[in-house]
A and B are shown apart, each in its own frame.
Chain A
Amino acid sequence: MADEPQLDNVPEATVVRRKRLRFSVIWIIPVLAAAVAIGLAIQRARSEGPVITITLKSAGGIEAGKTFIKYKDVRIGLVTAVELSEDFSKVVVKAKIAKHSAGLMVEDAKFWVVQPRISLEGISGLNTLLSGNYIGFQAGKSLEEQSAFTGLDEPPTVLDQPGRRFVLKARNLGSLGVGDPVYYRGILVGQVAAYNLVAEGKSVEITIFVDSPYDKYVTAETRFWNASGIDISVGADGVDIRTESLAALVAGGMAFDSPDYLPPAEPAAANTAFPLYRNRAIAMKQPDPIERRFVLYFNESVRGLSVGAPVTLYGLRVGEVAEVGLHYDAAKHTFRPRVLVTFFPDQVVGRMTAKQQVTNGKELTTYSKEARLSLLRQNVEERGLRGQLKTGSYLTGELYVAFEYFPDAPKPKLDWSRDPLELPVVAGGFANIEAKLSSILTKVDNMPLNAIGTEVKDALASLNQTLKEADKLVRNVDAQLVPEGTKTLEEMRRAMSSADRVLKNTDATLFGKDSPAPQDLRDTLQEVTRAARSVRILVDYLERHPEMLIRGKTEEKP
């Protein structure tokens, strides 16, 4: 089959001469591929940022490869792994940070999980409903680089905004929470940033952040108070309801202000500590540096007199009740209510005119003890200064202590060397009324009502008799006087007709043709007509300008 002649018949191929390359051009392909691949790898390696670990309490909604780390809504990293910590108590999230953001990974950078949050202050993180949770990031100021972080449980409330932090010290947190509003005159100016127990666990430190420019209103004299819920205080001053806003009412919050009576002060430095008062009234109360204490022993019920109730002088507040208790009189084996009052001389001075404050105020507050004592003694013994319990509110029965002058009061016997000094009292207010009422009632009680009743009965009987007699009398008059009366009337008629005649005569004489009377009368009548016209004009004018009666006639404007 494979014979030579047959092979000879196979035609010859056409020849094309061409120089052969030792290496095929095709090697360009792998070189190119390698170049592209290496280029990509280098680019990737160069864009690769650091890998950080974030320790979180739980990995709610965090998925490796899907959850981003966002800073100002820009993705700066991607979670690459979510693992449990070695002791299984926490979640360790590993994340790859973009190269351009590597510089942000400093010591005080903050991470937290952003998830939808609905609170009274608003709804936040709604975008996570669609995009899934992400890890929020807040840049720090430190220059120390770090790769392991601990995530925050809650988003930091204060995000890189100008303003200042202040520390408030309170006995307890109340209903405050992180993110709760801080109000200044009803304007939302900041929020609660954090809170923690102080080391001994006896009080709470609340860090608040007041946004700029409102932070300048926080001065050394600023008072902070808890504005959570409604502040209803019922006292002898009446019922006082205050709330900063509806949100604060429901969710809590705090407010601050500076008392008006203090001169404006310099803005406080950041992180200044302030006390947090329970409510506005307490916070804004003037500090009373000088206080004098007196004790009053009443002889009536002090029910309704509470600590803090006002002490007034002529109705103006000059102090407050410091203590309400009982006093046991060993000699008489009796109890009496004991009321300790605090008197603030500054408040008395504050009530005086500015001029007097300068001239006399200083003296009054700086008097020596003896001078004060003699002044007081003079007031008490000669002018009759007495303490009295008065009802501040009949609705609540709150009492207060009023000092007033009773010049007729008997001179008290007091021990002027005691401390606190005892001041005399008089039964007051309601108790006084009660005493009067009871004395009236006693008098009413003592009236010989039965005797009076009998006498009245007798009187009524005799009155009845009298009336009967009067009746009789009237009948007699009827019988005897009526005929007489008729006669008299007839005579009267006669007299009248004669008078008529006389008048007619007079008429003729007076209004006769030649008599001067008609002329006079006409003149008079004309005068009267004129007068009447004037009156009409006056009345017209008055109608149009009733104010004339008050202001007088004014020039009519054209």
Chain B
Amino acid sequence: MTATAATAAQAGLMSCEACQMLSRPAEPGHPAYCRRCGEELEFRHHGSIQKTWALIIAAAICYVPANLLPVMNTSRLGTSEADTILQGVEFLYASGSWPLALVVLIASVMIPIGKLIALGYLLVTVQRGSVTSNHERTRLYRLVEIIGRWSMLDVFVVTFTVAMVQLQPLMSVAPGPGVLFFAAVVVLTMLAAEIFDPRLIWDSAYPHQNGHG
């Protein structure tokens, strides 16, 4: 690696995200497709920062009702109980199963907000052209990407329970509106992580030859 060509973009080349094949941009500033696999080629994801911002803002908005609205309506012999995620955590903790409470708290409350914060942090640092701790930020991004799907645990539990617990007169469980927002948060953050271009983290490290981004 030379100082002049630390990134493919700086070398005036585009790497295919699917098959890693390098291509020379035929007409800079316009979308191109990989000759080998047909993947769309870009120096950097187009409008990555903007789109990521849009998605994480949407996710942040959805995060509020996801936590305020009940995710599960439990009807037990005439009494109906609607629980939000935090109430579920509280109930688990109060009933003594604090490890389970911790799992739910981390998977359903901490991780989504952690992802939003992490992505926000990445976006802000990229936009400010931060040059420090690039490796850490890349690692953070990978973590966000890997961890994303696990947040669907809650949604999974709710759908599973709703399907299983249908003892009509005695007990039944119905999904609450919160679960939709919760799923929206998870999906939006996953998409945001997907759209964010981690290559941007490194662009600022080599600021002298840019113009394709």
Q: How far is the CA of A16 from the CA of B4 in the complex (A)?
A: 29
Binds B, one of A17-25, A193-201, A537-545: A17-25
Question: Cβ of A32 and Cβ of B58 under 8 Å apart?
Answer: yes
Question: Cβ of B24 and Cβ of A12 under 8 Å apart?
Answer: yes
Interface string of B28-69 (1 = CB under 8 A from A): 001111110000010000110011001101110110110001
Interface string of B1-42 (1 = CB under 8 A from A): 010110000010110000000111111001111110000010
Q: Determine how close the nearest CB of chain B comes to the CB of A241; give it in whole angstroms.
A: 47
Per the CB 8 Å criterion, the residue count for chain A at the interface is 32
Please tell me which one of the listed residues B13, B61, B181 contacts residue A30 in the complex, with CB atoms under 8 A apart.
B61
Binds A, one of B75-83, B103-111, B140-148, B158-166: B75-83
Task: Determine if B193 is an interface residue (Cβ-Cβ < 8 Å).
Answer: no
Number of A-B contacts (CB under 8 A): 100
B interface SS class = mixed
Question: Which A residues touch B24, using CB under 8 A?
Answer: 7, 10-13
Task: Determine if B188 is an interface residue (Cβ-Cβ < 8 Å).
Answer: yes
Question: Cβ of B50 and Cβ of A131 under 8 Å apart?
Answer: no
Question: Cβ of A130 and Cβ of B35 under 8 Å apart?
Answer: no
Nearest residue in A to B27 (C-beta to C-beta)?
A15
Interface residues on B, range: 35 or more
Task: Determine if A261 is an interface residue (Cβ-Cβ < 8 Å).
Answer: no
Question: Which A residues touch B64, using CB under 8 A?
Answer: 37
Question: Which A residues touch B79, using CB under 8 A?
Answer: 66, 130-132
Question: Which B residues touch A34, using CB under 8 A?
Answer: 58, 61
Question: Which B residues touch A394, using CB under 8 A?
Answer: none
Q: Which of A20, A37, A131 has the most CB of B within 10 A?
A: A37
Task: Determine if A27 is an interface residue (Cβ-Cβ < 8 Å).
Answer: yes
Task: Determine if A33 is an interface residue (Cβ-Cβ < 8 Å).
Answer: yes
Question: Which A residues touch B181, using CB under 8 A?
Answer: 37
Nearest residue in B to A129 (C-beta to C-beta)?
B77
Q: Determine how close the nearest CB of chain B comes to the CB of A2; give it in whole angstroms.
A: 5
Given contacts A2-B5, A132-B79, contact A33 B61 (CB under 8 A): yes
Question: Which A residues touch B4, using CB under 8 A?
Answer: 2
Task: Determine if A334 is an interface residue (Cβ-Cβ < 8 Å).
Answer: no
Nearest residue in A to B29 (C-beta to C-beta)?
A20
Task: Determine if A29 is an interface residue (Cβ-Cβ < 8 Å).
Answer: yes
Q: How far is the CA of A37 from the CA of B184 in the complex (A)?
A: 12
Question: Cβ of A37 and Cβ of B65 under 8 Å apart?
Answer: yes
Task: Determine if A26 is an interface residue (Cβ-Cβ < 8 Å).
Answer: yes
Question: Cβ of A18 and Cβ of B51 under 8 Å apart?
Answer: no
Please tell me which one of the listed residues A12, A18, A30 contacts residue B58 in the complex, with CB atoms under 8 A apart.
A30
9 intermolecular pairs with C-beta atoms under 8 Å apart: A2-B2, A14-B33, A15-B26, A16-B31, A26-B47, A30-B57, A33-B61, A40-B177, A131-B78
Show the binding face of B for A, using Cβ within 8 Å.
2, 4-5, 11, 13-14, 22-27, 30-35, 41, 46-47, 50-51, 54-55, 57-59, 61-62, 64-65, 69, 77-79, 81, 87, 177, 181, 184, 188, 195
